[in-house]
Amino acid sequence: MVSQSSLNLNSFLSEAIENQRVWTIRDENGFPAPQNSEGNRAMPFWTTLSRVQKIINSVDGYQNFEHFEITLQDFMQKWLPGLEKDDLLVGINWSGKRVTGYDLKGSELLDLFHRQSSQS
């Protein structure tokens, strides 16, 4: 049986590669990196603008944020190593009223992107 987390991860990888970009959110204080249920901090990223807008429009705590677009190249070369260095996890396509989802290390996601690209 395939878990929801693995479906979200596969979707994140394929959509990011197809769109060649990801999105996050920011406000006047910068980029959020809330604590997840395990006590780790994670920065959220989405693979479509519509996913980001849905969170901004429907979740009270995120209504003052704006979307921020990142090319996939910058995400892989700069953001993922930087998040790893700052000990932040990568939140992928968080959703729902509690804005939660699957989180993983930047190095793990980078490795998955490289594997996915080599299979294409």
Residues contacting residue 26 through CB under 8 Å, at least 6 positions apart: 32, 65, 66, 68
Burial class (CB in 10 A: 0-12, 13-18, 19+), 37: exposed
Q: Which residue shows structure tokens 């996601």?
A: 109
Task: Name the pTM for this structure.
Answer: 0.91
pLDDT, one tens digit per residue, over 37-74 is: 788 999 999 999 999 999 999 999 999 999 999 999 99
Q: 80: closest CA among 117, 52, 43, 37?
A: 43
Q: Residue 108, class by beta-carbon neighbours within 10 Å (0-12 exposed, 13-18 middle, 19+ buried)?
A: middle
| Domain 4-114 coded CATH 3.40.980.10 | no
Question: Over the stretch 82-99, which tens digit does the pLDDT of each residue have?
Answer: 999 999 999 999 988 888
